[in-house]
Structure 1
Amino acid sequence: MTLTTILAPTLEPVDPARDAADVQAWLAAAPFWEMTDRTPDQVRAYLASVVSDPAQSGWLGRVDGEPAFYVETYAPASLIPADAFDARPGDLGMHLLVAPPAADPVPGFTSAVMAAVMRHCFAQGVDRVVVEPDARNTAILAKNAAAGFRVLGEIDLVTEGHAKRAALSVCSRDDFAASPLGGGEDPFPHLRPDLAEAAHRHLVAKALSELSHERLLAPEPAADLGDGWHRLTAGASTYVFRARVLPLEHWLLDAESIRREGARTHLDVLELVVELQDVLGIPDALLSTYLEELASTLAGAAAKRHGAAATSADLLDASFQEVEAAMTEGHPGFLANNGRIGFSLSDYRAYAPETGARTRLVWVAAAREHAHLALGEGLDERSHLEAALTPDERRVFAERLADRGHDPDGFHFLPVHPWQAEHRLPITFAADVARGDLVPLGRTADEYQPQQSIRTFFNRTRPGAPYVKVALAIQNMGFLRGLSPQYMRDTPAINDWVARLVARDRGFADAGFRVLRERAAVGYTGDVYHATRATNPHRKMLAALWRESPVTLLAEGERLVTMASLLHRDHEGSAYATALVRASGLAPSDWVRAYLRAYLRPLVHALLAHDLAFMPHGENLILVLTDHAVSGAFMKDIGEEVAVLGARALPPGIDRIVHETPGREKALAIFTDVFDGVLRHLSGILDADGVLPADAFWRLVAECLDGYEAEHPDGALGLSGDVDLRAQAFAHSCLNRLQLRNTLQMVDIANQSESLLYAGEMPNPVARV
């Protein structure tokens, strides 16, 4: 039991009439507050001014029910000049006044009060506490240090008409948790043994399932253990588990059945990978990097379980962004799918999609001679900026440029991820900032929520405003998550071309299929990294695009969810897809038919009628639900991931998306990206939950293809006549093999098809009989 627990300090809103006498007596003995000569009436008026001020609050503290201290909390920007401190959203200022000790002071009394005050501040949802005590007040400086405060520097500050030299200091949640006074709290509450054990079991099950699917592992039947049991030897360990193998060699594995036999019996996904290194072919030089991505995935899985609240049933009535933040799995095929190397724990809490946290983007001005702004049809720079920024932001940014001696007309405005602004802008691009080609402008007023794609943000303040996608130089799932200024030049034009094609073809409209255009893009190329001979990741660190929001495109009774939600299981193991089917009141087969009509059919039509292939995984599709059934879909992330797979003349500048491909390889746009990447997992969920057997699911997929062929008898094999989606087998393209081969860069973006790895052929579950 701690001293804080024994003394049990409490805080309540200050009452000026009731508390003025006590506070006046304490101020009389506190010279550093510069209020020793105040009368009770003056103190009462002062407290009343604090209570009436929306930028601050006053709190009376009690110990054992008796008044013992006074606290003020305030918005730092209301007191500390902006040129002295860059206040962030989530900062809270604090002043503390402790009653003078009695004749027999209690040892540790002030420490207990300070700890209680800090917990009170953080309980208000803030990220950092800010203080600015008199630099001569060595006693309070020592107490602040014990609470985890870090001195940023000394500043001149005027408060209540008195000037002082203040020791400006901040304390984050993690700082406090690691401090002597905050040491009673676990700084990593998500890394509990029970949560880690559950995360390990889940990831071991996924490893055994997905690596067996990719034919890297070959579990053997264990008939001695009973029907459905399998055994796999991995180094000095043997793993036994129960599983069924569904179509597309989908291993539906019972995670609770997994046992590890040998000298070590606990389940540890990191140890499993080390045991399997030679089998998996992971290069020695990259093993530690892959393990770090996997360790980060493990930590994220534990954090998601620790913070989990919403069940799949709860999500039935949740908002679009509530569903977005509730996702726990990440990419369903990749094992190490939440690497995010570069993020700290506080970064995770601030920017990971599953936390649902809101943030404000940082903006910089980029000199026009070294930057470009590409705009879609019908959009000019003025209308773009009116959608991207509020009038106040545009005015303030222009004023800040002018105040620094720049002509605002000579710059483009570029949004930057807050992490990028802190870790890259002042260091990687220090020379550009110093010479004035990049000018930091500050944060926006609008709050944004990170999406499943982590570097894309949804505007929570103005939901109809465009999405913003920015560069983020962290290592995640086989790539540094940059954004190419070179690609940004053509992005709006590519989107316009695709949007016109989709809008003119009734086949898409009949399926309720639409695209979300990327309407504007900006990129900076004035840095030295663009002057090097060879391309490099540093060329992809300062660019952004704006994408249409689907919110304004909904009809009455429609709602939005990320398609990733169809593969989501909550912390209790319940599947969201199962909850939707049951809530819809439809027969499971009819629910799946509706989904396939909105998702599979338009993708098949795009490929066969137009040689057009998207990247249609879960986070790139936004589904439209009507009465819990899928009634439409929005395709997004067009500019970077769309491809024309046949010979076609496109306008100059966007012809980079043409990649002439033979028919068997074209078909992989459906076989790999849709059948294997999405439908395989959904069929497994519905089968496991007893909603719809996998064989019946794939019969519905065949029925969807039959329906399309019946309506398009002359186009069933595509424009080239050699795309057979009913072939007996197709090349088994494997994702984890790519990451295991090179976790730093899975594929060459400029030549993706040549980078792919295959594991023979996969029997087609919808092959013609």
Structure 2
Amino acid sequence: MKQNKDHIQYLDNYLFSKTFEELGAIEIRHFRITQDSEILHQWVNMEYAVFWGMQGYSLTQVEQEYAKLLQPDHYDIFVGVYNNKIVFVLEKYDPTKDVIGSLYAATQDDCGIHIIVAPPIVRIPNFTWYLFDTIMDFVFQDETINRILVEPDIRNKKMFALCQRIGFQLDKIVELPYKTAQLAFLERKHYQENKQIPKINKRSAMNTLDNAVSPQQSIAHLQPEVWVKVNTLFVAKAICEFSHELLIKPIVLEQLKDGWNSYILKTDNPTIQYQFNAKPLALNHLYIEHQSIKKYEESESVVIDGILFIKECRQQLGIKDSQMPVYLEEIISTLYGSAFKFLKGNPTSEELATADFQTIEQSMTEGHPGFVANNGRIGFDSSDYRSYAPEAGNSFSLLWLAGHKSRAVYAATDTLPYDVLIRQELDADTLKNFRESIQNRGFDPDEYFFIPMHPWQWFNKLANIFSPEIATGNLICLGYGPDQYLAQQSIRTLFNNTNPKKFYTKTALSILNMGFMRGLPLYYLGTAPKMAIWLEELLYNDPYIQETGFRMLSEIASVSYVNPYFEEFGVHNDYNKMLASLWRESPMTAIKGGQQPMTMAAFLHVDHQGEALLPKIISASGLTIGDWLGRYLKAYLSPLLHCFYHFDLVFMPHGENIIMVLEDHIPVHALLKDITEEACILNPDIELPDHLKRMYAPVPEDVKLLSIFTDIFDGFFRFMSHVLEAHAGFSETDFWSVVANNIHEYQDRYPEKEAKFKQYDLFSSEFHLSCLNRLQLNNHKQMIDLDDPVALLQFAGKLENPIAAYRKDLATAIS
């Protein structure tokens, strides 16, 4: 692989040139220390080049460093030139003669490279791709090279994105003396196959951002026009949801055409008010025309500010002074995220209709539809946000810890003992390295359980709070695992992007988000696998559940670490939920060829151009909206009705907790996740195993049906009908008619349950309004009591039932 080191003859000649029709020629020659070090010195001292590791170097130091690099026979350095300007520096070396060669199975036909690209002064579309394409062709012109290796700093996500765009495959993470690096390889055969694709292999818009961002990059999306837009959309949502929960009361000023009204909203300050146009829909929902919102102060129109809106309505909202600062921080964080999502370059709704599972997951912009402060994530800094937020789309590796069995607890189904699970999750080489790491510390690896952990949790919580356990060897940091994961909408549930059929991993993540510190309690995890088996035996043998295709993504194993310093403070103490992980079935194991999984939250998605995704999906299916909804409800609502009426079993089936499986854009079945803390049995007469007694919830009779009215009707259908009315011209009356028909079909199917249908009447004229935002405003750290889920619920009057008008006499229907 080595180029001739005696390259004086090449000083004025190029070694390689590649011409692109749309760009021109990019040429490569040897690096000249005396001539080229000055430009390189400028680059390495710029902020973007932090990962090159030479910031603060003088020109003399740069020259000395590169003179040293050129001494070994196995190391060469080149520059790329475009339009007579240097545009990259390429270092090329033999890994078998480098320290990196001891950290993986290096072979003689490997070639390692380092690349630094010039700062982008003139923006040329896809210019970096052209540079990389040229470099790969240059390296592979040497027929003795079969594989190219790169090993960027693990934080350098921009370089990973560029390399993956070319076709590099990510490999394991290694510890070098000067950095934690991730190996990535490009095989000649794979590169040549990619070259046959007659278009630029554009990297995903999801993977373009560095983990370690500069101060400027962290705020690049905070632009005046975008800030006004996201604040306006935020205020529209806040008015809708706060008025829905009867916290504020807009007053009709004037009736307009087609059911629209002009409204005024008075704030706590008599000199400040808002005006807007909206159409009232079912369930006390306002379809607000956000462009119509105006704010007036002393009769003067002023700029809309979402944070000020909360402060201006604080008395009406009933926010305590002690709660206000943290709530405002969550609002600001939500706005920060909204601006990022708006500018990040998501696919359009048209494109998402045919997109893959994870592209859709990363492209969601709204968050929870009901919560106003729904993207708090307090604890993340701006770099964490771009590293770990699902919308950032960055993949990352999990850290693995070893917890001594005197502290760690493993629980799983009978078919998944620890040794079986860990061999499924970690390859033989990684297991060998981890075991050797424990042995090198003087401990027995057989006395430990391996625990996957979110990197944020380690650096921000565990390394400090668990330091006594680390110092004594009860807890050992083993390093990064080889697989790459993507955060899902629930942020602490992680999808294995390297091996999609491997389990989801859900880890404790001690950030404050939407009313909870997102830990994982042993109290639930210890029984999760047994609950999974019990529920599967209960449901999967039922003919109706089989008919609908409904499935749970069962939580089949968990591992928790008990910190003895905090154990006495109760199972729900946040410090007792910091170190635990859960393995859940992957949806990809339940998908057949030609089927498309997507988060049900996508049915509410509206893109940055104002186009909704759901009408695009329905249009592509070839069905009418009514027929498509009928198929959707059979897959989603019908099995949940059956669980309630047949098994007295309820879940929390909101949009993010459901993965819909589509075939030819038509829903065929639903996959339910997040079961451990949310599945409840409502009937005390049902015999539960001793270890699952916690599943029973003593819920008042008039509250039981809220599992459908609140979680499904008010929590999802309210927004779904809005999307169809606003973006597809499908009236809410028609929507609720289809819902009523689905329920009638189910009830007609089971005439023997007539008494129960009457006792828990889905066609009752009204139902309790259970309020989500009131919960958060009341206690932003612990919205509900996990041991008594009804105790802290916030009710505010009643809602008119939108399907009450479709009631029919049950006796007549059944006869």
TM-score of Structure 1 vs Structure 2, range by shorter chain? 0.7 to 0.9
Matched, 1:531 2:550: no
CA contact (8 A) 1:663 1:722 kept: no
Shift of 1:224: 8.0
Specify whether residues 66 and 341 from structure 1 end up closer, same or farther in structure 2 by C-alpha distance, changes over 3 A only: closer
1:190-269 pair list within 5 angstroms: 190-223=221-254, 228-234=261-267, 235=269, 236-263=271-298, 265-269=302-306
Q: Is the 8 A contact 1:23 1:70 kept in 2?
A: no
Normalised to the residue count of structure 1, the TM-score between the two structures is: 0.82
**For the aligned residues, what is the CA RMSD?**
3.7
Q: Find the counterpart in structure 2 of residue 486 from structure 1.
A: 523
SS at match of 2:556: strand
Deviations 1:713-768, CA, capped at 9 Å, x for gaps: 2224549x722212111111000011111112211222220110001111111123
Given candidates 601, 623, 637, the residue that maps to 1:586 is 623
- Extract unaligned runs of 5+ from structure 2: 1-12, 18-26, 39-58, 104-111, 122-126, 133-151, 158-175, 180-208, 809-815
Matched, 1:522 2:541: no
Match of 2:314 among 273, 277, 283: 277
Pick the aligned partner of 2:659 from 594, 617, 622: 622
Per the alignment, residue 102 of structure 1 pairs with: none
Please point out which of 689, 692, 697 is paired with 1:651.
689
SS for the counterpart of 2:752 is coil
8 Å contact 2:275–2:294 — kept in the other structure? yes
- The corresponding residue for 2:603 is 566
Q: Which residue pairs with 2:738 in the alignment?
A: 700
Q: 2:219 is paired with a residue of what secondary structure?
A: coil
Matches within 5 A, 1:465-484: 465-484=502-521
Aligned to 1:751, the other structure's residue is in SS state: coil
Report the more deviating stretch, 694-703 or 63-72: 63-72
2:589 alignment partner in structure 1: 552
CA drift of 1:79 comes to 6.6
- 1:431–1:221: structure 2 CA closer, same or farther, 3 Å change rule? same
- Whichever residue aligns with residue 197 of structure 1, its letter is V
User: How far apart, in 2, do the equivalents of 1:68 and 1:255 lie?
Assistant: 46
In 2, Cα distance between equivalents of 1:69 and 1:616:
52
Q: Deviations over 1:511-568 (max 9, x none)?
A: 1211111110111113411133685211111011101112122223211001110111
Which residue identity lines up with residue 303 of structure 1 in the other structure?
F
- The secondary structure found in structure 2 opposite 1:759 is strand
CA contact (8 A) 1:13 1:60 kept: no
Question: Quick check: 536-545 or 27-36, which moved more?
Answer: 27-36
Counterpart in the other structure of 1:665: 703
Contact 1:429 1:527 in 2 (8 A): no
1:128, distance to aligned residue in structure 2 (A)? 5.0
Residues 99-151 of structure 1: CA deviation (Å, up to 9, x unaligned): xxxxxxxxxxx9999xxxxx989x99977579xxxxxxxxxxxxxxxxxxxxx
Return 5+ residue gaps in structure 1 as ranges: 1-11, 52-57, 85-91, 98-109, 114-118, 131-152, 157-171, 179-184
Q: What CA deviation, in whole Å up to 9, does each residue of 1:187-242 have, x standing for no partner? A: 51110011111110110000011111111111111118885111111123111111
Query: Structure 1 residue 316: deviation in Å?
Result: 1.5
The code of the aligned residue for 2:688 comes to: L
Match of 1:681 in 2: 719
- SS of the equivalent of 1:528 reads coil
Q: Distance in 1 between matches of 2:416 and 2:436?
A: 25
- Alignment-derived partner of residue 22 in structure 1: 32
Distance 1:217 1:561 in 2: 35
- What is the CA deviation profile of residues 606-626 of structure 1, one whole-angstrom value per residue up to 9, with x for unaligned ones? 011100000100111010101
What are the equivalent positions in structure 2 for 1:22-421 lying under 5 Å apart? 22-23=32-33, 46=73, 49-50=74-75, 58-60=77-79, 65=84, 72=91, 128=155, 177-178=214-215, 187-223=218-254, 228-234=261-267, 235=269, 236-263=271-298, 265-421=302-458
Amino acid at match of 2:722: G
Deviations 1:233-271 (A, max 9, x none): 112311111111111111111111111111461111110
Q: How many angstroms does 1:385 deviate by?
A: 1.2
SS at match of 2:714: helix
Cα deviation code 1:272-312 (max 9, x no counterpart)? 00000000000000101000001000000000001033011
Q: CA deviation at 1:464?
A: 0.6
1:36-89 deviation digits (Å, cap 9, x = unpaired): 989xxx96985xx446xxxxxx441669826699564899999778999xxxxx
Decide whether aligned partners of structure 1 residues 128 and 18 sit closer, same or farther in structure 2, where only a CA change above 3 A counts: same
Q: Identical aligned pairs, as a percentage?
A: 36
Measured in 2, the distance between the counterparts of 1:560 and 1:452 equals: 14
Q: Residue 486 of structure 1 aligns to which amino acid in structure 2?
A: Y
Partner secondary structure for residue 321 of structure 1: helix
Aligned counterparts of 1:701 and 1:603: Cα–Cα separation in 2: 13
Q: Secondary structure at the match of 2:419?
A: helix
Matched-pair contact (CA < 8 Å) for 2:633–2:742: yes
Cα distance in 2, alignment partners of residues 619 and 447 from structure 1? 22
Work out whether residues 20 and 43 of structure 1, in 8 Å CA contact, stay in contact via their aligned partners in 2: no
Decide whether aligned partners of structure 1 residues 71 and 273 sit closer, same or farther in structure 2, where only a CA change above 3 A counts.
same
| Alpha carbons 1:432, 1:527 under 8 Å: kept | no
Counterparts of 1:434 and 1:221 in 2: how far apart (Å)? 66
- Aligned equivalent of 2:203: none
CA deviation vs aligned residue, 1:455-504 (integer Å, no higher than 9, x gap): 00111111110000000000100111111122111010011111111101
Decide whether the 8 Å contact of 1:14 with 1:60 is kept in 2. no
The amino acid of 2:728's aligned partner reads G
Question: What does the per-residue CA deviation read over 1:698-717, in whole Å, with 9 as the maximum and x for residues that have no partner?
Answer: 11111111111111122245
Q: Is the 8 A contact 2:218 2:382 kept in 1?
A: no
Contact 2:401 2:450 survives alignment (8 Å)? yes
Structure 2 CA distance for aligned equivalents of residues 494 and 554 of structure 1: 23
Counterpart position of 1:103:
none
Cα deviations by residue, 1:656-691 (Å, 9 ceiling, x for unpaired): 011133332110100000000011110111011234
Q: Return the match for 1:602 from 626, 639, 651.
A: 639
SS at match of 2:464: coil
Aligned residue for 1:425, secondary structure, equals: helix
**For the residues of structure 2 that align with 1:711 and 1:642, how far apart are their CA atoms?**
25
Instruction: Give 1:582 shift.
Output: 1.2
SS at match of 1:244: strand
SS of aligned partner of 2:462: coil
Tell me if structure 2 keeps the 8 A contact 1:94–1:129.
no
CA 1:376/1:579 → structure 2, altered by over 3 Å: closer, same or farther? same
Q: Contact 2:516 / 2:783 at 8 angstroms: preserved in 1?
A: yes
Q: SS of 1:730's equivalent?
A: strand
TM-superposed deviation, 1:406: 1.1
Secondary structure of 1:624's partner? strand
Distance in 1 between the 2:603 and 2:660 partners?
A: 10
User: Partner of 1:369: helix, strand, or coil?
Assistant: coil
Matched with 1:146 is: none
Aligned to 1:338, the other structure's residue is in SS state coil
Cα offset, 1:425, TM superposition: 1.5
Counterpart Cα distance in 2 of 1:13 and 1:187: 40
In structure 2, relative to structure 1, the CA distance for the partners of 1:222 and 1:503 (3 Å cut) is same
After superposition, give the CA deviation of every residue in 1:560-604 in whole Å (9 maximum; x if it has no partner).
001110111111111111111111111110011111111111111
Displacement of 1:384 after TM fit? Answer: 1.2
